[in-house]
Each structure stands twice: as structure tokens, then as C-alpha cells.
Amino acid sequence: MTATITALLIPPSGEPRTEQVEPDDAEGYQAIVGGPIEAVYGTTDTDLRAAFYAHSDSIAAGLPINLIATALWKRLNRETGRNVLRGTVIVVGGEGPSDADVPILVTRMARTLQRSLAAGW
């Protein structure tokens, strides 16, 4: 049996949710985001690293901007510039050479951002 990790899935609309996924499973991640993946990274104030996996050709695929994932990524990486994330985004921990459980703090931040956006902030 393959060990799984807890990942945060952030759809472009709707609420972020956690799911069990196989770590470092490019094919599984591609199935979730709907195409080839690319990774971008962020770090919390307490030095927890997060990897964001998104569709690598999201503009050509016509995927909608993911406001929650983009806001979370920008909060964890101040050097994102004007870049945005599109489509469904997978967030996992990145404490070493292999994917790990998404930090609980990152999951809480995503849910707080979702509530803020839903309230019209």
C-alpha cells in the first residue's frame, strides 16, 4: 500500500478541501488539474514551505483565474508579481525533496481567504 499525504485542493470556484493523494504523483496531479503541471512555491512566516501545483498551460486551456489560490500564493511569496494561478490548484507541503502533508496553517489561511472573498472583501 502506498502512503498518502494530505493535499489542499483549491477549485476556481467553491470551497478549498483536503484530500488524500499519493506524494510526487505527477500523473495523479495532472488528472486533478486537467493537464500538465508546473509548481510554484511559497513559505509561511514560520518557514513552512508549500508547493502549488497548477495547470502549466492554463491560459491556452481557457481556465478561470483562481482567486483563492492566487491570494494564498501571493501571501506566501511576495515575489509573484502580477502572475495569477488558474483552474484547480493542488497545495502540498514541501519540506524536503518529496511532497509532504500541506501545513495546517496553509489550509487555515486558504479557508480564511475563501470566507473573506465570499463576504465581498
Query: What is the reported pLDDT for 121?
Result: 65
87, 64 Cβ separation under 8 angstroms: yes
| Mean pLDDT to the nearest integer, 51-57 | 96
70-93 pLDDT tens trace: 999 999 998 888 999 999 999 999
Q: What is the pTM of this model?
A: 0.93
Task: Return the closest-CA partner of residue 88 out of 3, 24, 19.
Answer: 19
Q: What confidence tens digit (pLDDT) does each residue in 4-50 have?
A: 999 999 999 989 999 999 999 999 999 999 999 999 999 999 999 99
What is the rounded distance in angstroms from the CA atom of residue 35 to the CA atom of residue 22? 17
In 1-121, where does DSSP find H-type helix? 26-33, 67-76, 104-118
pLDDT of residue 14: 87
